[in-house]
Amino acid sequence: MDKLKVLVIDDKKIIGNLFEFTLGYKGHFIKWMDNTNAALDLIRHETFDIAFLDIVMPGRDGITILEEIKSIAPTLPVVMMSGYSVEEKRDRSKELGAVSCLKKPFEFEDVRKIIKSTLSRDI
């Protein structure tokens, strides 16, 4: 099985830990970042299979970050995440090309389904 390379951009380390626990233990490469500028720089230099991006980030809005990601790596599938009621931002993120939006808290099964439908890969 090919290993996935997953980028998680979220200001909460627990979200990074969740991805590491659920996907990393299966051998997939998980990179968690809480600094949006560093994450954008990383996307400029590395290729990822999929990215998970928090909508509400300190300093910079997730929608703005999504726009920048799409200008740097237009084919990178991005899944938005939020624990807040941000319907307008969810709608805008889909207009900008986000493949889905996860409502926090979410289950690993939700992540698995999104990866399967987006990348045609069962994990």
Helices (H), 12-107: 13-22, 36-45, 62-72, 87-95
The reported pTM is: 0.94
Q: Residue 85's pLDDT band (boundaries 50, 70, 90)?
A: low
For residue 18, give its domain range. 5-119
Tokens 């995440």, residue located: 81
Supply the CATH number for residue 44's domain.
3.40.50.2300
Per-residue pLDDT of 3-52, as tens digits, reads 999 999 999 999 999 999 999 989 999 999 999 999 999 999 999 999 99
Question: Which pLDDT value is given to residue 90?
Answer: 80
Domain total for the chain?
A: 1
> Is pLDDT at 91 greater than 90 in this prediction?
no
Q: Which helix (H) or strand (E) holds 72?
A: helix 62-72
Per-residue pLDDT of 56-79, as tens digits, reads 888 888 999 999 999 999 999 999
Per-residue pLDDT of 13-24, as tens digits, reads 999 999 999 999
Question: Which pLDDT value is given to residue 61?
Answer: 87
- For the chain, give the percent of residues with pLDDT over 90: 72
